[in-house]
Amino acid sequence: MASEADSKCRLDKWLWAARFFKTRSLATTAIDTGKVHVDGDRVKPAKEVHIGQTIHIRNRDFEIEVTVQALSNVRKGAPEAALLYTETPASISKRENAKLTGEHDFAQRDRGAGRPTKRQLRDIKKFTGGAY
Protein backbone atom coordinates (compact mmCIF):
# COMPACT_ATOMS: atom_id res chain seq x y z
CA MET A 1 0.00 0.00 0.00
CA ALA A 2 2.88 2.38 0.77
CA SER A 3 4.41 1.72 -2.64
CA GLU A 4 1.11 2.74 -4.30
CA ALA A 5 1.05 6.02 -2.38
CA ASP A 6 4.68 6.78 -3.24
CA SER A 7 4.37 5.85 -6.92
CA LYS A 8 2.94 9.34 -7.57
CA CYS A 9 4.26 12.45 -5.90
CA ARG A 10 3.62 16.17 -6.36
CA LEU A 11 6.66 18.43 -6.71
CA ASP A 12 5.80 20.60 -3.70
CA LYS A 13 5.30 17.52 -1.50
CA TRP A 14 8.57 15.98 -2.69
CA LEU A 15 10.56 19.18 -1.99
CA TRP A 16 9.00 19.30 1.48
CA ALA A 17 9.66 15.59 2.13
CA ALA A 18 13.26 15.94 0.91
CA ARG A 19 13.68 18.79 3.43
CA PHE A 20 14.60 21.54 0.99
CA PHE A 21 11.79 23.66 2.45
CA LYS A 22 10.37 23.77 5.95
CA THR A 23 6.70 23.82 4.86
CA ARG A 24 4.76 22.88 1.76
CA SER A 25 3.56 26.45 1.39
CA LEU A 26 7.18 27.68 1.21
CA ALA A 27 7.88 25.04 -1.43
CA THR A 28 4.79 26.11 -3.39
CA THR A 29 5.82 29.77 -3.23
CA ALA A 30 9.33 28.93 -4.45
CA ILE A 31 7.92 26.95 -7.38
CA ASP A 32 5.44 29.71 -8.28
CA THR A 33 8.14 32.39 -8.22
CA GLY A 34 10.38 30.43 -10.60
CA LYS A 35 13.05 29.35 -8.14
CA VAL A 36 12.51 25.65 -8.90
CA HIS A 37 12.99 24.14 -12.37
CA VAL A 38 12.44 20.52 -13.41
CA ASP A 39 14.59 19.37 -16.34
CA GLY A 40 15.25 23.02 -17.17
CA ASP A 41 11.56 24.00 -17.39
CA ARG A 42 9.48 26.16 -15.10
CA VAL A 43 6.68 24.05 -13.61
CA LYS A 44 3.64 24.21 -11.32
CA PRO A 45 3.49 22.85 -7.76
CA ALA A 46 1.19 19.96 -8.77
CA LYS A 47 3.67 18.64 -11.37
CA GLU A 48 4.33 14.93 -10.86
CA VAL A 49 7.91 14.06 -10.00
CA HIS A 50 9.47 10.96 -11.55
CA ILE A 51 12.64 9.09 -10.65
CA GLY A 52 15.60 10.28 -12.73
CA GLN A 53 14.40 13.87 -13.22
CA THR A 54 16.78 16.74 -12.55
CA ILE A 55 15.53 19.48 -10.24
CA HIS A 56 17.30 22.84 -9.95
CA ILE A 57 16.54 24.75 -6.73
CA ARG A 58 17.64 28.35 -6.20
CA ASN A 59 17.18 29.80 -2.75
CA ARG A 60 18.51 32.82 -0.89
CA ASP A 61 21.10 30.70 0.89
CA PHE A 62 21.97 28.08 -1.71
CA GLU A 63 21.70 26.95 -5.31
CA ILE A 64 21.57 23.19 -5.85
CA GLU A 65 20.84 20.73 -8.65
CA VAL A 66 19.68 17.24 -7.70
CA THR A 67 18.56 14.05 -9.41
CA VAL A 68 15.48 12.31 -7.99
CA GLN A 69 16.33 8.84 -6.66
CA ALA A 70 13.12 7.99 -4.78
CA LEU A 71 9.65 9.40 -4.17
CA SER A 72 7.99 10.17 -0.85
CA ASN A 73 4.84 11.99 0.22
CA VAL A 74 5.80 11.85 3.90
CA ARG A 75 8.37 14.01 5.67
CA LYS A 76 10.83 11.85 7.60
CA GLY A 77 14.15 12.40 9.32
CA ALA A 78 17.12 13.96 7.56
CA PRO A 79 18.97 10.66 6.92
CA GLU A 80 15.90 9.19 5.17
CA ALA A 81 15.29 12.45 3.27
CA ALA A 82 18.86 12.44 1.94
CA LEU A 83 18.14 9.10 0.23
CA LEU A 84 15.46 10.73 -1.97
CA TYR A 85 18.03 12.57 -4.14
CA THR A 86 21.65 12.80 -5.20
CA GLU A 87 23.38 16.07 -5.95
CA THR A 88 24.92 16.39 -9.41
CA PRO A 89 28.75 16.68 -9.60
CA ALA A 90 28.45 20.07 -11.34
CA SER A 91 26.32 21.36 -8.48
CA ILE A 92 28.77 20.09 -5.87
CA SER A 93 31.72 21.82 -7.54
CA LYS A 94 29.72 25.04 -8.03
CA ARG A 95 28.69 25.06 -4.36
CA GLU A 96 32.26 24.41 -3.17
CA ASN A 97 33.54 27.20 -5.43
CA ALA A 98 30.90 29.60 -4.09
CA LYS A 99 31.88 28.69 -0.54
CA LEU A 100 35.55 29.44 -1.26
CA THR A 101 34.94 32.71 -3.06
CA GLY A 102 32.18 33.90 -0.74
CA GLU A 103 29.91 34.46 -3.74
CA HIS A 104 26.71 34.69 -1.70
CA ASP A 105 28.18 37.11 0.86
CA PHE A 106 28.95 39.97 -1.53
CA ALA A 107 26.00 42.18 -0.54
CA GLN A 108 25.95 41.45 3.18
CA ARG A 109 26.18 44.33 5.65
CA ASP A 110 27.21 43.88 9.26
CA ARG A 111 24.28 43.75 11.64
CA GLY A 112 23.87 47.08 13.39
CA ALA A 113 25.91 48.95 10.78
CA GLY A 114 22.87 51.05 9.94
CA ARG A 115 21.93 52.46 6.59
CA PRO A 116 24.68 53.24 4.08
CA THR A 117 25.83 56.84 3.96
CA LYS A 118 25.46 58.93 0.82
CA ARG A 119 29.10 58.29 -0.05
CA GLN A 120 28.71 54.53 0.47
CA LEU A 121 25.60 54.53 -1.74
CA ARG A 122 27.55 56.25 -4.53
CA ASP A 123 30.30 53.64 -4.20
CA ILE A 124 27.75 50.81 -4.27
CA LYS A 125 26.07 52.24 -7.39
CA LYS A 126 29.43 52.70 -9.07
CA PHE A 127 30.45 49.14 -8.26
CA THR A 128 27.18 47.40 -9.20
CA GLY A 129 26.36 49.67 -12.13
CA GLY A 130 22.80 50.20 -11.02
CA ALA A 131 20.45 51.08 -8.24
CA TYR A 132 21.06 49.93 -4.70
Q: 131 or 99: whose pLDDT is higher?
A: 99
Q: What is the pLDDT of residue 132?
A: 55
At residue 48, φ and ψ (nearest 5 deg) are: -75, 135
Share of the chain above pLDDT 70, in %: 88
Domains of the chain, start order: 2-106 (3.10.290.10)
Digit-coded pLDDT (tens) for 78-91: 999 999 999 999 99
Spatial CB neighbours of 11, under 8 Å, sequence gap ≥ 6: 27, 31, 36, 38, 43, 44, 45, 46, 47, 48, 49, 55
pLDDT tier for residue 103 given thresholds of 50, 70 and 90: low
Higher pLDDT, 74 or 103: 74
Ranges 27-31, 96-100, 114-118, most confident? 27-31
Model pLDDT, residue 105: 63
Q: How many CA atoms lie within 13 A of 46 on its CB side?
A: 0
pTM score, whole prediction: 0.74
